[in-house]
Amino acid sequence: MPLHIEDEEATAAVRALAKVRKLTLTEAVKVACQEALERDQRAQPVALRLAAIHARVRAAGRTGEKADKAFFNREWGETE
């Protein structure tokens, strides 16, 4: 899918990043976008970042397993 960047400053920034990191132009755009998104996500309050995790945990439901010492020993491959 083509992406045409007609802004000279943006093009120069992508070319500079590609040169410094020895990337293709496509890789440079991809890396820059991923890093910016990660930075934005880290800037969100912890409560918002954890909300999605909490929702997934609640949606998973109960397994019926009892999380006692024997359970954790089994998970770690330990025997009593």
pLDDT in tens, 61-78: 888 877 888 888 888 888
**80: pLDDT confidence band, cut at 50, 70 and 90?**
low
pLDDT of residue 40: 92
Residue with tokens 């890396």: 31
Tens digits of residue pLDDT in 7-63: 999 999 999 999 999 999 999 999 999 999 999 988 989 898 899 889 999 898 888
The two three-digit tokens of residue 66, written as one number: 């009892």
Nearest to 14 by CA among 3, 2, 25: 25
pTM: 0.59
Q: State how far the Cα of 61 lies from the Cα of 47, in Å rounded to an integer.
A: 21
Within 13 Å of residue 68, how many CA atoms lie on the same side as its CB? 5
